[in-house]
Amino acid sequence: MGADRADRHRFRRQVPWGGPGRSRGTESPGGPGSLRSRVLSTPALLVCGALLLSGCASMPDQGDVRRVDSSARSDVDSQVRVYGVSPGKGEQPAELVSGFLEATTSDEENFGTAKEYLTKAAAKGWDPFAATTVLEEAPDVRVETDPGDRDGNGKTVVLSGKRIATVDATHAYRPDEAPYEERIHLTLSGSEWRIDGPPPGLVLGESDFQRIYRSVNKYYFADLGPDAEESRVGDSVLVADPVYVRRRIDPVTATVKALLDGPTGWLDPVVSTSFPGGTALGRRGEKLSLDDSNALKVRLSGRAAHVSGARCARMAAQTLFTVQDLGEGSSEVSGVRLERQDGSELCALSSDAARSYAPDGVEGHPQHQYFVDSKHRMVRLSDDEDGAQAVPGAFGADGAGLGSVAVSRDERDAAGVTADGSALYVSELASGAERGKPRLRSQGGSAEHGLTAPSWDGLGGLWVADRDPQRPRLLRLRGGTSPADEVRLPKLDGGRITALRVSADGARIAMLVKRAGHTTLRLGRIERQGTAASPKLSVRKLHAIAPKLQDVDTVSWTGDSRLVVAGRESDGVQQLQYVETDGSPANVPEVPGPSGVEAVAASEDQTRPLIAETRENGIVRLRPNTDWKTVDEDGSAPVYPG
């Protein structure tokens, strides 16, 4: 069993957490496109390789090593660190560049081994944290003839591949599919080749990127603008801002530093931070960690020394929720203490006291799932029910004539669009409640060209798109009943909105946009300006967040910065997958989807069941640790509150 397990895990220079080994070993030849790794090759050493995964405390001191492609190797165990290998004597340009690239995938804090491949001047000027280019696979490496290097003291090596994303200096991930090519220049330093023109930042294959980095959410307060006074939840609305930090190199410190640096550029216009501008950690080189009680102390620079108690509490709330997922195992962070530079306490916030700031304050705590039955009524069911019941009020009555519905986060109100897409109604979910007059009408003339399914944010706003070809619009109704405010949209290049879902915090909107026969998923930020009497709303900076899917059929929020989508790649079959709001793949287990999903609904509380509409089985539901089960063969349009 040990040998079998070792065969599945190809090691570079890998050692337990105690520190690097000393022996380098020998290297077998490898092509220029193969990045260097060190792999123990005798059966006995393969067994010990497997033992490393379970905590083996020593490195073998004999046996040869061989090169493998790092990006083809599966993820290594968290108990093992990966270290680069120094350049050998007489290495040729392609081999040297391959070794440099491999060394940049190590778990060394400051890339000391990678810098050994550079000239002294280049090592001083190279910033590995300036940017990260993520390729589909490890880059191909080839030597290019350079007419300018006539004396033989210089060489140019070309890296090429398929770029899928970039990560900037603020740790923000952005999908960016395009051919990749980068030239690296080398020069003779004495008798050895060294790189004097390295690439800007890091160049990583996708599997190495996923092994080395992890996604974390920073939290900032939503800038509600003219909506602040009428928000049902006040102004303490936290918005998740996902970034990537190195998984094994002091992640708590890196995450807090990223928080103090402020929001990423895309989110910045719609959020604010309570930390004074320029606030940094109070001591240079300090490493933050959770103590035995899972609490965190953060000493801040003088910029934060004189903030008020109320402001400090908001700063602590941002910090607590930002580091929440960095606790040991599944334990929650128990509290945060913020300190002045001299170590005195600014404020402390326990996890219990932080509940008033928790993101689920706007997300709500849904009690039911909802959908439209065969009689076009609105029905609901709870987690432990197998059969749905009509909701109280007008929407649950015969003759409701509904085609799609949405439920407010507190489950007191509902919005419904008629089956022909022509009218939007809003009603209380209470016995005796009447439907009243239409809040909005569309002149599109058909269900396809009428109103989309509506969506509630956690502030009390109701959002819907009118797909009328003559007058397409995105609209927001404050409180669900006020006159509709038209939301300004960026140019869609001939596309049109076919569906939408607004985040609970009201700062982001996910939209399905159909253009040239294909429907893609776009995320935009919601900017609020103007006055309470005359608000001016706009959606800006739309970007694709499921770029590999040529067609997206449905989408739902399922976390502070995560969505679940059903869609298909080019010439592929439909699949159900999770994506982060920055466009990166979510680090959660895949869910086998039922076939023919037409609509999916999820809760931000990820312990709640998924519910979907399928062509063959109607409404189906997936409870935790079970299979999909049909709950209504004729139902449609499933939703959670939101």
Q: 274 or 8, which is more confident?
A: 274
Q: Which residues contact 614 (CB under 8 A, 6 or more apart)?
A: 594, 595, 596, 597, 598, 620
Give the per-residue pLDDT at 331.
Answer: 72
Counting residues of the chain whose pLDDT is more than 70, the rounded percentage is: 86
Q: Express each pLDDT in 513-564 by its tens digit.
A: 999 999 999 999 999 999 999 999 999 999 999 988 999 999 999 999 999 9
Counting residues of the chain whose pLDDT is more than 90, the rounded percentage is: 77
Neighbouring C-beta atoms of residue 609, cutoff 10 Å? 20
Give the per-residue pLDDT at 23.
Answer: 29
Out of 56-60, 145-149, 359-363, the most confident range is 359-363
CA pseudo-torsion sign 254, 259, 261, 264:
positive
Complete domains list, the chain, with CATH: 1-83 (no CATH), 216-358 (no CATH), 361-639 (2.120.10.30)
Give the per-residue pLDDT at 145.
Answer: 76
Which amino acid, 480? Answer: G
pLDDT at 103 over 50: yes
**221/356 Cα distance (integer angstroms):** 13
CB contact at 8 A, 626 and 394: no
pLDDT at 48 over 80: no
Average of per-residue pLDDT across 128-152: 87
**611/640 Cα distance (integer angstroms):** 9
CB contact at 8 A, 420 and 450: yes
User: Helical H runs in 460-582?
Assistant: none
Strands 132-135 and 202-205: parallel
- Strand locations in 210-321 (E): 213-222, 238-246, 271-272, 295-299
**117/321 Cα distance (integer angstroms):** 40
Neighbouring C-beta atoms of residue 41, cutoff 10 Å? 14
Q: Express each pLDDT in 306-359 by its tens digit.
A: 999 999 999 999 999 999 988 765 578 999 999 999 999 999 999 999 999 999
Give the per-residue pLDDT at 151.
Answer: 67
DSSP 465-496: EE--TTS-EEEEEETTTSPPEEEE----TT-E
**28/152 Cα distance (integer angstroms):** 26
pLDDT at 489 over 60: yes
Give the per-residue pLDDT at 588.
Answer: 83
Length of the chain as a residue count = 642
Q: Express each pLDDT in 394-448 by its tens digit.
A: 999 999 999 999 999 999 999 999 999 999 999 999 999 999 999 999 999 999 9
Torsion of CA 543, 547, 552, 555, to 10 degrees: -60
Q: Take residue 120 and report the two structure tokens written for it.
A: 């002294």
Give the per-residue pLDDT at 15.
Answer: 42
pLDDT at 140 over 90: yes
Threshold 0.85, pTM exceeds = yes
* Closest-CA residue to 180 (of 210, 201, 158, 198): 158
Which amino acid, 42? Answer: T
**566/359 Cα distance (integer angstroms):** 25
When mean pLDDT is compared across 56-65, 112-121, 130-139, 609-618, the lowest value belongs to 56-65
Q: Express each pLDDT in 259-281 by its tens digit.
A: 999 999 999 999 999 999 999 99
**641/405 Cα distance (integer angstroms):** 10
Average of per-residue pLDDT across 603-614: 94
CB contact at 8 A, 54 and 81: no
Averaged confidence pLDDT in the chain: 87
User: Residue by residue, what is the 3-state secondary structure of 219-235?
Assistant: EEEECCHHHCCCCCCCC
Give the per-residue pLDDT at 280.
Answer: 97
Give the per-residue pLDDT at 50.
Answer: 35
Residue 560 three-state SS: coil
Which amino acid, 232? Answer: R
Q: 502 or 19, which is more confident?
A: 502
Note the maximum CA span of the chain.
Answer: 91
pLDDT at 51 over 70: no
Identify any residues that bridge with 40 across adjacent strands, giving them in sequence order.
65
Q: Which residues contact 437 (CB under 8 A, 6 or more apart)?
A: 425
